[in-house]
Amino acid sequence: MELLERFAAGDVDAFESLFRQHQGEVYRWIMRIVRNTAVAEDLTVETFWRMYRAHASFDQAKGNCGAWLRRIASNVAIDHLRHARREVPLPDDLPATAKQPLAEQLAMRHEIIRAVNKLSPRVRAVVLLALVEEEPYERIAEALGISESAVKVRVFRGVRILRKTLSQAGVHP
Amino acid sequence: MKEPEIEDLKTVLKYALPAVNDSELQRDLWPAMLQRLDQSAIRVPWWDWALLAALAGALCFLPGMIPALLYQL
């Protein structure tokens, strides 16, 4: 019996094999949206938990397991952004440039992150995936369960809001 | 909106939020997953507790129900 078939029948060993195969990929996907290692780890477990609960409804003929997991992971990550209202953390490294003093760089980064945090979770996820991580629109669309044109609309909306918020804060991209 | 405007914003965003697409999982999450599975296996849904509490309350206030209940069992 195939691995996916055994998983669909509720076999825990098959689930473990799938978990080990896909945990890294799911973690990386969630990390791109939440940008926090501890949260990404928790949400990876939550993603597989939802997958396990829905094992009976997994249709092997419809698509691959990776795509299904990415879809669940995206929903889990967006739910997290929606409920936790946690801010995207600042990166630890701050390379100093000759052009700007460190304090000014920090202030600018804070403004940019504040502007990103003002976006709605669904738009924020698309902006981070498309503009920061440079994921192809097709892949984002598949993971979010929307069309490519809907992804473009969200990117456009996000860019418009970000430009407005940033220019109000004195940051001109 | 023009493509260069999007590219400029992309540069600004990446300045504040570097891409994390090369971040690797630092530990195996299977033990955490097993813990989650175990917790769910022994977890009793809240409505089961509510039903039990209602039954206990009914038996306390209406002890006459006990023989009827035993008869039904």
Angle, in degrees to the nearest 10, between helices A37-53 and B30-42: 50
Identify which of A50, A40, A47 has the alpha carbon closest to the alpha carbon of residue A22: A47
Report the pLDDT value the prediction gives residue A101, as an integer from 0 to 100: 65
Report the pLDDT value the prediction gives residue A95, as an integer from 0 to 100: 52
Name the domain boundary from A84, A113, A131: A84
- Do A7 and A78 lie in one domain? The reply is yes
Name the domain boundary from A30, A53, A84: A84
A112 and B32: CB-CB below 8 Å?
Answer: no
Is A123 inside any structural domain? yes
- Do A114 and A45 lie in one domain? The reply is no
Closest-approach residue (CA) in chain B for A165:
B9
> Is A89's pLDDT higher than 60?
no
Report the pLDDT value the prediction gives residue A156, as an integer from 0 to 100: 92
Backbone phi and psi for residue A62, each to the nearest 5 degrees, phi listed first: -75, -40
Is A48 inside any structural domain? yes
Looking from the CA of A134 toward its CB, the CA atoms found within 13 Å total: 11
Q: How far is A17 from chain B (nearest CA, A)?
A: 10
Closest-approach residue (CA) in chain B for A20:
B30
Q: Chain B within 8 Å of A87 (Cβ-Cβ)?
A: no
Q: How far is B43 from chain A (nearest CA, A)?
A: 14
3-state SS class at A79? helix
Q: Chain B within 8 Å of A113 (Cβ-Cβ)?
A: yes
Give the pLDDT band (50/70/90) at residue A75: very high
Whether the pTM exceeds 0.80: the reply is no
Say whether the ipTM exceeds 0.90.
no
Residues of the domain holding A124:
102-168
d(CA A122, CA A154): 8
Q: Chain A within 8 Å of B70 (Cβ-Cβ)?
A: no
Rg (Cα) of chain A, in Å, rounded? 19
Residue predicted with more confidence, A96 or B53: B53
Q: Where are the domains of chain B?
A: 48-73
- Do A106 and A149 lie in one domain? The reply is yes
The arithmetic mean of pLDDT across residues B45-55, rounded, is 86
Contact present, A57 and A10 (Cβ < 8 Å): no
CATH of the domain at A50: 1.10.1740.10
